[in-house]
Amino acid sequence: MKRTVGHRFALTVASFGALAAAAIVLAPLVGSTHISLRRAFDPAIPFADNVDAQIFFVARLPRTLAGALVGAMLASAGVVFQGLLRNPLATPFTLGVSAGAALGAMLAITFNWSLAWAGIPAAPAASFAGSLVAVAIVYALSRARHSGMSTNVLLLAGVTMNAFFSALILFVQYFADFAQTYRILRWLMGDLDISSYEPLVTALPLVLVSFAVFAWLARPLNLLSLGPESAGTHGLDVTRAQRAAFVSASIATGAAVSVGGPVGFIGIIVPHLVRLLVGSDHRIVLPASALFGAAFLIACDVVARTAMAPVELPVGVVTAILGGPFFLWLLVRKR
Partner 1 sequence: MLQAADVTFAYRGHAPVLRGVTMEVPANSFVGILGPNGSGKTTLLRLLAGILPPSTGRVVLDAVDLRLTPRSRVARRMAVVPQETHLAFDYSVSEVVLMGRYAHLGAFEIEGPVDFAIARDALAATGTLQFEDREFGTLSGGEKQRVIIAAALAQLTGAAGEGILLLDEPTAALDLAYQLELADLLRDLQRRTPMAIAISTHDLNFAAGLCRTLVLLKNGEVLAAGETEAVLTPDRIRALYGVEAEVTRHHLTGRLVVVPLRRVPAESRA
Nearer residue to partner 1 within complex by CB, 2 or 38: 2
DSSP string, 263-293: --SHHHHHHHHHHHHH-S-HHHHHHHHHHHH
Q: Which residues contact 8 (CB under 8 A, 6 or more apart)?
A: 278, 281, 284
Is the alpha carbon torsion for 293, 296, 299, 301 positive or negative? negative
Among 229, 307, 324, 329, binds partner 1 (CB under 8 A): 229
- Residue 236, sorted as left (phi over 0), alpha (psi -120 to 50) or beta, turns out to be beta
On the 0-12 / 13-18 / 19+ scale of CB atoms within 10 A, 296 is: buried
222 scored as a contact of partner 1 (CB under 8 A): yes
Is 121 a residue that touches partner 1 (CB under 8 A)? no
Instruction: Give me the least distance between CB of 153 and partner 1, in Å please.
Output: 15
* Window of 26-34, 157-165, 276-284, 312-320 that interacts with partner 1 by CB under 8 A: 276-284
Smallest gap from residue 5 Cβ to partner 1 (A) = 5
**219 is a contact residue toward partner 1 (CB under 8 A):** yes
For partner 1, the binding residue among 281, 286, 288, 293 (CB under 8 A) is 281
Nearer to partner 1, 223 or 263 (CB): 223
In the bound complex, what is the minimum distance in angstroms from residue 284's beta carbon to partner 1? 11
Indicate the burial class of 271 (C-beta count within 10 angstroms; 0-12, 13-18, 19 or more): buried
Distance of alpha carbon 331 from its chain centroid, rounded?
Answer: 21
Give 128 or 139: the residue with its C-beta nearer to partner 1.
Answer: 139
Binding status of residue 42 toward partner 1 by CB under 8 A: no
234 sits near partner 1 (criterion: CB under 8 A): yes
Out of 6, 43, 46, 310, the only residue in the binding site for partner 1 (CB under 8 A) is 6
By C-alpha distance, which of 63, 70, 65 is closest to 319? 70
Do 245 and 118 touch, CB atoms closer than 8 A?
Answer: no
If binding is defined by CB under 8 A, does position 207 make contact with partner 1?
A: no
Binding site for partner 1 (CB under 8 A): 1-2, 4-6, 82-83, 86-88, 148, 215-216, 219, 222-227, 229-230, 232-237, 275, 279-281, 283
